[in-house]
Structure 1
Amino acid sequence: MSTQGTDAALLRIFLAALVILGSTTLPMLVTPSAQAQPTGTATSTERKFLKLSLDSVTPTAITTTSDPTLTISGSIMNIGDREVKDVTVRAQRGAAIATPRDLRATLQLDQVNYDVNGDFEDVVPQLDKGERTKFTVTIPLRPGGGTDKQTLNITEPGVYPLLLNVNGKPDYGNQARLDDARFLLPVLGVPPPAKTLDAPEANQAVTAPTDAPVATTLLWPLADRPRLVAGVPGSAEGKVELTDDELAASLAKGGRLDQLLGALETVFDATPTRDRALASSVCLAVDPDLLITVQAMTRGYRVLASPSDPDGATRPGTGAAQAQTWLDRLRALAGTMCTVALPFAQVDLDALAAVNDPDLSARAMNAPAELVDSILATKSVRGVSLPDSGSIDKGAGMLLRGHGFTTAVLADSAVTPEGTADPSDTATPTTGRGDSKQQPTATQHAASAESADPDVIRLPAITAAPPSPPATAANPAAPNGNPTATPAVDPALRVATFDIWSATALAALGSNPPTPSFTPAKVRYEVSNDSRVARLQDALGAVSWAALNPQPNQPRSLLLVPPQQWSASKDEGTALLRQVELLMRGNLATPRPFQDLVAQPPDPRPYELDYLSQAAADAVPDRFIAPARDQGHRISELMRALVEVPEADPTPRQFLDPLRDDLIRALSLSDRRTGDATQADTFAQRRVDQTTRAMDNMYRSVTVLPPGGVYTLASEQSPLLLVARNDLPVSIRIKFRIQAPHEAKITDLQEQQLPAKGTRSFQIPTEVSDSRNLVIPISLTTPDGIPLGNATSVSVRSNAYGQALAIITACAGVLLFLLAGRRLWRRFRGQPDPADEGFDPGTRRRVNRYLRAKKRVIQQEHQEAQ
């Protein structure tokens, strides 16, 4: 056969294939986006036709007493550019979750991995562009009940991934899967199928094993983005300015913080018969910066008219009443349950350690517990730190231990058995803070993700002080030498680990869900593509997994840690609390107070920190470290010069602590896990700039007033009169720095004190040996020598003749001495003095009589006057 004949035959075969397959293949080639992508993948935003959203899942968790069918309601919207016909949906199920990692990873799998399929159910014959329709799918949980309908075939308890698949036929295309939604379904027990006339004897219910309930602790965070305007020191009036009034809306009915409290109030009501087991396992974790702001709002406040203009106009705030109501509700709850303080303003502890300012660190770490206790009238758990990132480096660990913290709450992937970290890892280029910040390898992360760490572990390398010496004859007070002595405190920092998979699922709740820094890279995706109902189901499934899946050689323990700036709604929070309560009622979980968790002895194996690479990427940038250090140092220098006056407000600490708080807020991790930290960087830079300007103004507020003109001394030893002014609302100690020229000698007054908002005059002993105009530079400093105010100069002129007068006086004295000696010498030799010549004796006698008569008259007048 010729070449032309062969080519023609192949062409005919190809065209025949296109005719046969054209109705199916060609449209799919033209419109590849008609195949829905797995939720959360990078291409999920490329949907062209339909958008599927879940509205409800009933029941949210399956128990032995649940209805034997699952009902899923949702909505479908045509978001494409053409109508879609024959819209149908069906439910599909995958295998039960076998490992904690699969709680997240399974939600990224394609629909082929969900191999148990229900029946397609018709939704609508046609859906036009922009049109939305509701649907409901009901599917039996298990076979039986006399129905031939496809079921989910769930016969054992567990956490199951479900997928809702929507199919349709777009114009110019064929029937295809156009979108889907994935979620987890916790099955705590399998109910028997429905009894029917055809199947009167239904299968029995299947229960989960309850011989090893999981000890469960839940933290309930209350925090917010820093709102106070920076650069405003404390005052006696107590009025504050906020950057915006969003916090008022959050505290008001229906706001985020209102709903978080409302969920607790709904579940922990005052019913006398209510089981208090759940309440004992929940601990409030409160940001002291939020409490400071809310308490200040109750006294009235103002709000910037433009948040981008901190020096611009302000308007009255509207949330004083809401703040008072919310604060009263929180006090009532805190008085009945565990409370612990979060780090101030969600500060980045690694950045705080890099700043290395003792006063700033003390304010950020030691003050929070005191603030929480004083504002909420409670006694919080002490010695425990909850870093917002869930991962810290060695510098932050040393900082915690050095400030008396015995325990840190960290992600279980942020620690590793000692010696297993990769020694070749170096400091991350984004930090540069002098610490070796380990970058875990993928293998290490995978291993830590699959195996749970003990509840509490010990970090021998992170210590506050050397261990106590052993008991000896020379040291009888050692613990072993004296039975009554207090046991030595373990110098090493301990870590209470939390499960990263449940924490990742809890973080996905709410209207503004972040992806935590400790979530592994392979399972990070944009969770906001999922509906809130689906994300709630994922959280309920993650919370339930440990209770349903005992693991060999692993603790039966679960610490649930939502993100600190949590946006869960009241309904979502209530559903979560009810799920934990359901686990406890079913003996699948047991309550464990937070105090008991942190007090239990650590695992005997040594561990070390494994600073996560994503935590380093989400950290506060290095460019804010040096400015925070510099301004913190200036605050401390000024604090040492201020004087605390009894019964005077504000005190030096009340006056300067707000500025320290501003520096801490500049190091906040708030809003740094959104994928774009531009706004967080802008807020931080603005706070640093405003604090710097405020400190400049304070140092300029204490100054010596220029006298003006030339200052004339009455004599060469007249005092120099100076006036110093203090515009600060607190008293301050000062010293004069006077650079006296060689012609002047000025006495040092040593340390002096200026009153608050007042002036004071000073007489400085001065001796000038020159009658010329002298220019004397004068300035003020703190007792430590830190310059205050603006330097000035005084022009001084003395009425004394100076050196010439001294010479003339000396010459006159010498001449007088010589003349007197000459007269005495001549009188001694009996020779008349030539100076007496021409003065005859008669005249001399008359002068003498006159002088004696004048003396008698003066004496007589004096006697008459007496």
Structure 2
Amino acid sequence: MTRAGSQRTLLSLVAVMLAVLTSLGIIGPGLGTPIAAAEPTGSGSGQASGPKFLKLSLDSVTPTTITATSDPYFVVAGTVTNIGDRPVNDISVRIQRGAAVTSPSGLRATLRQDQASYDVNGEFQDVADKLNAGQRKQFSLTVALRPGTELPSGISSIDITAPGVYPLLLNVNGQPDYGGQARLDDARFLLPVLGVPGGDAKAPAAPATPAAPAVPDTPVATTMLWPLADRPRLVAGQPGSPDGQALLTDDDLAGSLAQGGRLDQLLSALESVLKPDSGRDKNLVNALCLAIDPDLLITVSDMTTDYRVLASPSDPDGPTRTGTGSHAAKAWLERLHTLAAGMCVVALPFAQVDPAALAATGDVTLADRALNAPADLVDSLLSVKSVRGVAVPDAGTVDTDAATLLAHHGFTSALLADSAVTTGDSPANLTSTKAPGTPAAAPETGIPDVVSIADVTVPPPAGVNPPPAPVTLHAATFDIWAATALAAIGSNPPTPPFTPDKVRYDVTNDSRAARLQDAVGALSWTALNPLPGRPRSALLVPPQQWGANRDEASAVLGQLDLMLRSNLATARPLTELVAQQPDPQPYGLDYLAAASDEAVPAHFAEPVHQQAQRITELMSALVDVPQQELSPRDFLTPLRDDLIRVLTLSDRRASPAAADTNAQRRQDQTTRTMDNLFGSVTVLPPGGVYTLASEQSPLLLVARNDLPVAIRVRFKIDAPAETNITDIGEQQLPAKGNRSFQIPTEVSDSRNLVIPIALTTPDEVSLGNAVSVSVRSNAYGQVLAIITACACALLLLLVGRRLWHRFRGQSDPADEGFDPDTRQRRRARKRESKRQEAR
């Protein structure tokens, strides 16, 4: 064998051996790195790949917040699960700490840092000798805040000596079969420290070290929205009916309203902290404002009586079944009614509509229903007086068209993310000119509480004297870092569009307990870090379809209450926030790229506009009759609501494709219904040929109205040249009834004539289907008149001739050839006959 052949054989053997070792897991793929040297991907690291052998999840932190009066210990509980395909031995965990968060972006960025940044390390504590594939083991660690002269066994110190928000990391090590000892996973979370308790780790009862509470110069003025919203549930294309049952796409809302459901738990959390015996500071209620979607209230109100549910949500025309949530809906609505009576309430835009898509439709009436009507709906259903003039867009950002629409409809304030506004040298430069897809810069220095949007001003109406001041839209800005952390709480957490790209990652890799800790830390950061250039205020805005459960929501409220009691925060009602004078510096809008990507697609705008116009046209023709059970507004408003639901932002972050499908289905159903409504008012076609008794006989027609409301109509008749048909003007058809009409008609032709007849609204919008009426008249027209005139002339001529001859004593030539004797005999017989009768 040659030297080259020997080398090829040796290389082949080495390659085979590497492949075998890799398949057995003894070495890693690629460069053959041993497992012990591999750097695992932690749950919160933000990397694309996940752990391969062990999964570490945080279960709880007790207490969730450290105060000056707390014990100098806290307990961390978690679970280690073997998610690999082989046993893992010698499993242990330890706690690690990073430096306190010093910038608002650090609340998110520190959770993605490498574990080397968590440079204060505790001691490893054993969890299990071995975990086979699929097995799990729970554990708890007791952690001391300050180092002591002699720590008890099993307790590590993380050396916290000053208040702040600290990032912590749980690190799990183990040895998989065929590998070495390695860090296999980690879990990150934030720990807010409002004050460092006194004492030491050796003898907590003896305060060897004084407590160190946080003492900020100025408490943070805090306002928090408490959202209650749900995705649209009512089936589209169902106009109002005096006795009809509501039809829902599914019955999931019944479960959400029932005990243990999402909406029930959000309400229960509020009830637990606001009831008289809760022991909470009464100031807490002043910091809260219920933000309610009127579409949810309408749906729940419909559910309080009997309602139906589609057997298949994808088949709106298919079979239905009885809904099961009437009792839960009634109880939930009564609880909300009681709770709202003592709280601030603000109405959300109807069905979480996208203001940009709404502006693109260009329909004023539709915008009025989506933006202005919600406050009236909430007030009427809950018997409250909600805050007016404040818009709460779901995305936290709007473009210039949407902002102008809000201002045109009387809104003076909008709650926007602090990254959705921008400064500039002049008002002309304020509108963002960034290229599409460019991420927004995360505000670090802080945006004022209220700013004026210089490029959104609505001039006063013309002809008003004295003219009112122009309407300028103000933006009350909320903290995107706290809002991002609040959005991560609960099940199916979204990443809001205002979250900067550089700190985006899949938060579902973290446990719910870890995400709750991050939110509690984010709520506390501003209070603990008074920085130059940042306002001492916080507007806290969770997502409108918030997934927090009762315990999580209560923990958020508890943290806010704790900050109020500790004088780290002060309650600021929403009305006070929006009433503030805006910052003197002009600001402009920065429509965030992520919000643009998640917006309602532009192709829905024109079809929605067309159907909204048809609703307006039909509404103008309907008549509100006092004896009528259903008013025109009650009849058609549900269809206008369906069009608004087409433009909803609900579920677009979680599943854009499904949201598009639902929107298209709603649009199609509403279009079909409008076609049917316009076709329900028509002229009944007469059978056969309609014969007029004379040339001026009226044309008898019957019009039918199948709508449950009366309607004004006009006849549209394309009369042929041979006819003259009088326009009888505007007429009214009764609800669900027929009416006969006599239309004056003149026909100058005896032939069969075809006359097209249709109905329209008073504004000449077509109704129903046109019919063709075949008409035949018994009049002969000009021919009959000529014949009659000739006959009369001939008769007069003959009579005149006879009289002329008689006056002259001459016999009429017409009598020539007639025997005079015969005439005399006839006369004699007549005289004799009369004498006989006289006897």
Q: TM-score, normalised by structure 2?
A: 0.91
Q: Which residue of 2 aligns with 1:387?
A: 393
Q: Secondary structure of 1:47's match?
A: coil
Question: Could you list the per-position Cα deviations for residues 306-350 of structure 1 after superposition, in whole angstroms to 9, with x for gaps in the alignment?
Answer: 111110000000000000000000000110000000000000000
Structure-2 change in CA distance of 1:199 and 1:372 (3 Å):
closer
Does 2:450 align with 1:456? yes
Contact 2:417 2:498 in 1 (8 A): yes
Q: Structure 2 vs 1, CA of residues 821 and 103 (structure 1 numbering), >3 Å: closer, same or farther?
A: farther
What's the counterpart of residue 33 of structure 2?
Answer: 29
Q: Partner of 1:166 in structure 2? A: 172
1:746 paired residue number = 725
Match for residue 354 of structure 2 among 348, 354, 357: 348
Report the CA distance shift for 1:647/1:572 in structure 2 as closer, same or farther (over 3 A).
Answer: farther
- Look up the match of 2:62: 58
Q: Equivalent of 1:227, from 233, 240, 244? A: 233
Matches within 5 A, 1:393-542: 393-419=399-425, 439=436, 441-442=438-439, 445-446=440-441, 448-466=442-460, 488-542=468-522
Counterpart for residue 573 of structure 2 = 593
Is contact 2:272–2:278 with CA below 8 Å preserved after alignment? Answer: no
Within the candidate set 211, 216, 223, 1:205 is matched to 211
Shift in Å, 1:738: 1.2
The one-letter code sitting in structure 1 at the alignment partner of 2:719 is: A
Q: Following TM superposition, by how much is the alpha carbon of 1:156 offset from its aligned partner in structure 2, in angstroms? A: 0.7
Tell me which of 756, 763, 767 is aligned to 2:735.
Answer: 756
1:29 is paired with a residue whose SS is coil
Query: Cα gap change, 1:743/1:198 in structure 2, threshold over 3 Å: closer, same or farther?
Result: closer
1:110 counterpart = 2:114: yes
1:540-583: CA deviation from partner (whole Å, max 9, x where unpaired): 00000000011213321100000000010000000000100100
Is 2:102 aligned against 1:123? no
CA distance in 1, matches of 2:37, 2:667: 48
Deviation (angstroms), 1:460? 2.3
2:151 is equivalent to residue 147 of structure 1: yes
Query: Does residue 779 of structure 1 match 2:779?
Result: no
Q: In the alignment, which of 746, 765, 771 is matched to residue 792 of structure 1?
A: 771
- Measure the CA separation in 2 of the matches of 1:673 and 1:62: 35
Does the C-alpha gap of structure 1 residues 385 and 835 become closer, same or farther in structure 2, counting only changes over 3 Å? same
Distance in 1, matches of 2:428 and 2:158, equals 45
User: Is the counterpart of residue 645 in structure 1 residue 639 in structure 2?
Assistant: no
Counterpart amino acid of residue 499 in structure 2: T
Residue-by-residue CA offset, 1:333-392 (whole Å, 9 max, x unaligned): 110000000000000000000011111111111110010000011100001110001010
How far apart are the structure 2 equivalents of 1:843 and 1:104? 137
Tell me, in whole angstroms, the C-alpha distance in 1 between the residues paired with 2:757 and 2:538.
67
Q: Distance in 1 between matches of 2:76 and 2:90?
A: 20
Q: Deviations over 1:79-117 (max 9, x none)?
A: 001000010000001111111111111111110111111
Whole-Å separation in 1 of the counterparts to 2:361 and 2:538: 35
| 1:95 to 1:197, Cα distance in 2 relative to 1, 3 A | closer
**Structure 1 unaligned blocks of 5 or more:** 427-435, 470-474, 480-487, 855-866
The answer to whether structure 1 residue 75 and structure 2 residue 79 are counterparts is yes
Matched, 1:90 2:69: no
1:335 lines up with 2:335 in the alignment = no
Q: Secondary structure at the match of 1:72?
A: strand
1:767-807 CA deviation, whole Å, 9 max, x = no partner?
A: 11222211111111111111111111111111222332122
Tell me: CA distance 1:781–1:157, structure 2 relative to 1, closer, same or farther (3 Å). same
8 Å CA contact retained: 1:722, 1:761: yes
Q: Which amino acid aligns with 2:133?
A: K
Preserved contact between residue 80 and residue 130 of structure 1 (Cα < 8 Å): yes
SS at match of 1:572: helix
1:686-835 aligned at under 5 Å gives the runs 686-816=665-795, 818=797
CA contact (8 A) 1:421 1:610 kept: no
Q: Which amino acid aligns with 1:455?
A: D
Q: Which residue of 1 aligns with 2:222?
A: 216
Partner of 1:556: 536
State which of 636, 641, 645 in structure 2 corresponds to 1:661: 641
d(CA) in 2 for partners of 1:830 and 1:336? Answer: 121
Match of 2:295 in 1: 289
Deviation at 1:67? Answer: 1.3
CA contact (8 A) 1:195 1:201 kept: no
The residue identity in structure 1 corresponding to 2:526 is: A
Q: Cα gap change, 1:41/1:763 in structure 2, threshold over 3 Å: closer, same or farther?
A: farther
Tell me what 1:431 maps to: none
| 2:740 aligned counterpart, secondary structure | strand
Deviation at 1:823, TM superposition (A): 7.0
Q: Aligned in 2, Cα 1:653/1:197: closer, same or farther, shift over 3 Å?
A: closer
- Cα distance in 1 for partners of 2:135, 2:333 equals 44
Provide the secondary structure at the position in 1 that maps to 2:419.
Answer: helix
> Number of residues paired by the alignment?
806
2:185 is matched with 179
Is the 8 Å Cα contact of residues 215 and 591 (structure 1) preserved in structure 2?
Answer: yes
The residue number in structure 2 matching 1:857 is none
For the residue of structure 1 that corresponds to 2:301, the secondary structure is helix
Q: Give the SS at the match of 1:367.
A: helix
Equivalent residue of 1:271, what SS? Answer: helix
Q: Cα distance 1:627–1:800, how it changes in 2: closer, same or farther (>3 A)?
A: same
Paired residue secondary structure (1:366): helix
- Cα pair distance change 1:132/1:816, threshold 3 Å: same
Determine helix, strand or coil for the equivalent of 1:159: strand
Structure 2 match to 1:483: none
Distance 1:183 1:841, change over 3 A: farther
> What is the identity percentage for the equivalent residue pairs of Structure 1 and Structure 2?
62
Matched with 1:584 is 564
Residue identity opposite 1:501 in structure 2: W
Unaligned runs of 5+ in 2: 835-839
The amino acid of 1:230's aligned partner reads A
Q: Distance in 2 between matches of 1:621 and 1:227?
A: 21
Aligned partners of 1:699 and 1:788 also within 8 Å: yes
Contact kept, 8 Å, 1:439 with 1:610, in 2: the verdict is no
Change (3 A) 1:150 1:133: closer
- Does the aligned pair in 2 maintain the 1:348–1:667 contact within 8 Å? yes
Q: Is the 8 A contact 1:718 1:766 kept in 2?
A: yes
Partner Cα distance (2:423, 2:437) in 1 = 13
Contact kept in structure 2, 1:37 and 1:110, CA below 8 Å: no
Cα distance between partner residues in 1 of 2:203 and 2:219: 39
Q: Which range moves more in the overlay, 368-377 or 641-650?
A: 641-650
Give TM-score, length-normalised by structure 1.
Answer: 0.88
State the 1:147 CA deviation. Answer: 2.4
Query: SS state of the match for residue 745, structure 1?
Result: strand
**Cα separation, partners in 2 of 1:374 and 1:493, compared to 1, 3 Å:** same
CA RMSD of aligned residues (A): 3.1
1:132 and 2:136 matched: yes
Q: Counterpart of 2:837?
A: none
Equivalent residue in structure 2 for 1:239, among 240, 245, 257: 245
Whole-angstrom distance in 2 between the partners of 1:437 and 1:749: 61
SS at match of 1:740: coil
- The secondary structure found in structure 2 opposite 1:650 is coil
Contact 1:715 1:800 in 2 (8 A): yes
Write the deviation string for residues 383-420 of structure 1: whole angstroms up to 9, x where unpaired: 11100010101110111011111111110111111448
